[in-house]
Amino acid sequence: MKTYIHQAEFIAAPKAIGTTVPCFSRKLTVKDDQEIAKATLQISALGVYEAEIDGNRVGQFRFAPGWTEYGKRVQYQTYDVTGLVHQESVLSVLLGDGWYAGRIGRDGERDPEKIPCIIAALIVEYADGTTQTVLTDSSWQVLTTPILFSCMFDGETVDFTRELENLGNAVVLERDHDLLIPQEGEEIREIMTLSPVEEIITPKGERVLDFGQNLTGTISVCLSGKRGEMLEVSFAEVLDKDGNFYNDNYRSAKNKIFVTCPGETVNYSPVFAFQGFRYIRLDQCPAETAAQDFAAVVIHSDMERTGDFACGVEPVNKLYSNIVWGQRDNFLDVPTDCPQRDERKGWLGDAQVFCRTASYNFKVDKFFRKWLHDLALAQDAQGRMPHIVPNAFSGELNPSAAWADAATIIPLQMYMTYGDPQFLIDQYDCAKAFVDYVHKAGHEEYLWLDGTHFGDWLGLDAPYGSYKGSTDEGLIASAYFALSTMNLVKIGSAMGKDMSVYRNLYENIIEKWNETYVTGEGCLLGDTQTAYALALVFELVENKQPFADRLAALVKENGNKLKTGFVGTPYLLKALSDNGYTDVAYSLLLQTEFPSWLYPVTKGATTIWEHWDGIRPDGSMWSTDMNSYNHYAYGAVYDWIFGEALGIAPDYENPGFKHVFFTPHPDKRLGFARASLKTKYGLVAAAWHYEGDVVRYEFTVPASCTATVTIDGKSFPLGAGTHRL
Ligand code: BGC
């Protein structure tokens, strides 16, 4: 829909200004004889912007307009600025490179070809019914600012002593106005601030502040110092084994802040840079500025917290807290793999692995709806998916199994959690085109053998020097081909479509998969934990028990420890507990030695790590080339805790928890457990605790909803209300 902003011009700085953040400014002359009934600002940018009217911040959106497939669509925001506009107001807008022109949005380098620009319309409605608009055009002035450099990866440099310069009138750029769409996702906001919990002088003698939590955002500081004095800040997620500041894992992302003090006290916080950190090092700091003058500002998409969990084992509760923080820290408009190194991209594999857990922690329907729309737009005409969305990589698309399959997995999961068929309607064509592509790809019609696959990424059974676990790539890819085909059948069937062609395709894939990868009674090619986990959870094999027996044996032989990577880990516990090995699943969950979910907890983790041994038992670190301490993917274990330990699951026939399945798998080692989720119908909850050897259960079913409880193989119905058994 065309609106005022479509009549405005995209405007840019009149000359090359290097890395300086420009300020676009326009004096408003509103009618002095009329009362303002309403004032609205519609605004967007190719880049990131922050707007002010007379020094008052407009809205609370950080890094607006957010990150979309910029070649296809750019969100604009609409703010009510009624109280801010006066007769002689000045509207000013800061503009940064952001994802559009900065290093983050490309293969790794700033794009000199891309010129950041803004577009805006201020609409003033008077009490007499008349309207006045102020649009961006060449009458806007462009000024330099004290911000000399601001980059999402590298940080910010600010000189408050700098003389500001008027660069003259803005220039108009020819850009496609049809790209502009209204805000679709959640706003990115400052969600909370944390004060330092400790000031440390490290063995190297460096002054470090610990915020007690690995987080995404930045710092704010009430900065006092003599004119010209410097504040220089470095960031880190961890300290090394000697207690020294360690951030080599940031790779080329500099994450540095330099501020030259103006002389008087200022409140400073970086505008267009964010960092993933728990610690800051004060490399230079004026004597007048104390530790308490610093705060960490937590920034992420503003999602409502809807889920909760607790149990009788404290390290598991800490793991849950780490999962929730991992989500906060990586849901910054797009689901990023990590928030700290020179990456921070919307990797499809990570997102699909975590999407169910994500929807059991926070209300993420709006967040994923926007991202899935970009995902569909990023698909090519042949049905191929990129590895990341928005796709910041150049070159031809070459989809990888388990990454590309986000196209079918995430819409179906959102439908299951939220019961909104629009997810299916919006994503059907994309999901179908992807399955059709895989069907046609390569020389085997019913297997997925070609392509550049990430395999069982980071699997511990990887051959020396490789990041890919040893599970056969064709086995994984063809298993996902089956899963995505079945997901497509479910998506289409829920929309009332005849999906018999894809049902047949699915049957053929299953037959071929068994022919190719089942090597004997209960045996799979390669004999890896991941292969069995996929076969069982994706229901690829008919007689599951011998395969489950083999999986349980492999886990036990390995000392109740996993060997799985990105692909196998999310399914490992379910594969066991669905097939008579709940005790083995709990042994894995409660394992505290490397590799396990609780091992990082014993090492003081406050988020989920990329590597099970990001910090090794001897205190050394995993190699710097790939070692994030804030990678949410393995946090998907909450699927199992919520869906199997507590046993709460939605029903495909009545999604959104209109009908709930409760199939709890209690274990005395947890003592008690309880989990809940605020659904659109109300609170769904399950709890159990042990009294001696007796298990007591409690289930909560929202009004107008029904449930089916299954305990010890016996099922019975439940109506709305809280029931104790
Ligand atoms: C990312 C992962 C991602 C992977 C693809 C990495 O660099 O951090 O999380 O899924 O690449 O294999």
- The CA-based angle 631-632-635, given to 5 degrees, is 130
Among left, alpha and beta (phi > 0; psi -120 to 50; other), residue 464 is beta
Q: In this structure, are strands 275-284 and 180-182 parallel, antiparallel, or unpaired?
A: unpaired
- Per-residue model confidence (pLDDT) at position 504: 98
Query: Do 246 and 283 fall within a single domain?
Result: yes
Same domain assignment for residues 391 and 531: yes
Positions in the chain short of pLDDT 70 = none
Contact 270, 237 (CB under 8 A): no
CATH of the domain at 135: 2.60.120.260
If you take atom 3 of ligand 1, which residue's CA is the nearest one?
Answer: 347
Helix ranges (H only) for 518-592 are: 529-537, 545-557, 569-577, 582-590
Are 533 and 639 in contact, with CB atoms under 8 Å apart?
Answer: no
In the reported structure, the alpha carbon of residue 344 is separated from the centroid of ligand 1 by a whole-number distance in angstroms of: 10
Same domain, 558 and 697: no
Closest CA to 566 of 317, 277, 255, 350: 350
User: Comparing C-alpha atoms, which of 501, 505, 629, 646 is closest to residue 573?
Assistant: 646
Distance 98 CA to ligand 1 centre (A): 21
CA distances, 634 to each of 130, 336, 442, 624, 697 (Å) = 57, 14, 31, 20, 28
Domain-located, residue 500 = yes
Query: What is the CB neighbour count within 10 angstroms for residue 501?
Result: 10
Closest CA to 340 of 623, 63, 634, 610: 610
Domain that holds residue 222: 190-301
Considering the domain architecture, whether residues 414 and 357 belong to the same structural domain is answered as yes
User: The pTM is what?
Assistant: 0.97
Positive or negative CA dihedral for 260, 266, 272, 275?
positive
- Residues 6 or more apart in contact with residue 117 via CB below 8 angstroms: 10, 11, 12, 45, 46, 47, 95, 173, 175
Say which CATH number the domain at 680 has: 2.60.420.10
Q: Which of 343, 360, 366, 311 is nearest to 636 (CA)?
A: 360
| CATH number of the CATH domain containing 632 | 1.50.10.10
Burial (0-12, 13-18, 19+ Cβ within 10 Å), 711? middle
Report residue 714: phi and psi, to 5°: -105, 130
Atom of ligand 1 nearest to the CA of 626: 7
Contacts of residue 152, defined as CB under 8 A and 6 or more positions apart, other chains included, come to: 98, 99, 102, 103, 104, 272, 273, 274, 344
Return all residues near 158 (Cβ < 8 A) that are at least 6 apart: 146, 147, 148, 258, 259, 260, 268
- The answer to the question of residue 270 being in a domain is yes
Regarding whether 360 and 273 lie in a shared domain, the answer is no
Kindly state whether residue 117 falls inside one of the protein's structural domains: yes
Domain boundary at 286, 301, 316, which?
Answer: 301
69 CA → ligand 1 middle, Å: 20
| Alpha-carbon distances, residue 112 vs 16, 101, 291, 413, 724 (angstroms) | 10, 7, 39, 40, 64
My answer on whether 110 and 210 are in the same domain is no
Same domain, 683 and 611: no
The residue whose CA has the least distance to atom 5 of ligand 1 is 454
189 CA to middle of ligand 1, Å?
26
Whether residue 521 sits in one domain with residue 443:
yes
* Residue closest by Cα to atom 9 of ligand 1: 337
673 occurs within a structural domain? yes
Closest-lying ligand 1 atom to the alpha carbon of residue 457: 12
Probe residue for ligand 1, chosen from 337, 466, 476 as the CB with the greatest number of ligand atoms within 8 Å: 337
CA-closest residue to ligand 1 atom 11: 347
Choose one of 645, 673, 701: the last residue of a domain: 645
60 and 9 both lie in a single domain: yes
Ligand 1 pocket test, pick from 252, 389, 457 with the greatest ligand atom count within 8 Å of Cβ, gives 457
Residue 404 in tokens:
């590309």
Does residue 281 lie within any of the structural domains?
yes
Query: What is d(CA 299, CA 395) in angstroms, rounded to the nearest whole number?
Result: 32
For 291, phi and psi rounded to 5 degrees? -55, -40
Residues 283 and 400 in one domain: no
Mutate to test the pocket of ligand 1, among 350, 352, 393, 468 (most ligand atoms within 8 A of CB): 350
User: 178: which residues sit within 8 A by CB, 6+ positions away?
Assistant: none
Last residue of a domain, one of 301, 327, 362: 301
Would 652 be classed as within a structural domain?
no
- Name which of 610, 613, 592, 611 is nearest 602 in CA terms: 592
Q: How far apart are CA 279 and CA 269, in angstroms?
A: 16
Length, in residues, of the chain: 725
Do both 502 and 581 map to the same domain?
Answer: yes
Number of structural domains (the chain) is 4
Buried b (16+ CB within 10 A) or exposed e, 332-360: bbbbbbbbbbbbbbbbbbbbbbbbbbbbb
* Distance set, CA 556 to CA 107, 458, 546, 562, 637 (Å): 43, 21, 15, 9, 19
Answer whether 385's CB lies under 8 Å from 379's CB: yes
Residue 154: inside a domain: no
Atom of ligand 1 nearest to the CA of 467: 12
Q: Are strands 117-126 and 36-46 parallel, antiparallel or unpaired?
A: antiparallel
CA distance 570 to 190: 31
Which amino acids bring their CB within 6 angstroms of ligand 1? Answer: 337-338, 343, 347, 349-350, 454, 457, 631
pLDDT score recorded for residue 466? 87
Helix/strand/coil (H, E, C) string of 349-382? HHHHHHHHHHHHHECCHHHHHHHHHHHHHHCCCC
| Ordered DSSP codes for 49-71 | EEEEETTEEPSS-SSBT----TT
> Interhelix angle for 422-440 vs 500-517, to 10°?
50
**Which residues, at least 6 apart from 372, have a Cβ–Cβ distance to it below 8 Å?**
410, 411, 414, 423, 426, 427
What residue type is assigned to position 619 of the chain?
G
| 206 located within any domain | yes
**Both 172 and 57 in a single domain?**
yes
Atom index in ligand 1 nearest the CA of residue 454 equals: 12
- Cis bond leading into 390, ω under 30°? yes
Tokens matching residue 30: 């509103």
CA-nearest residue for atom 4, ligand 1, is 347
Supply the residues annotated as catalytic: 343, 610
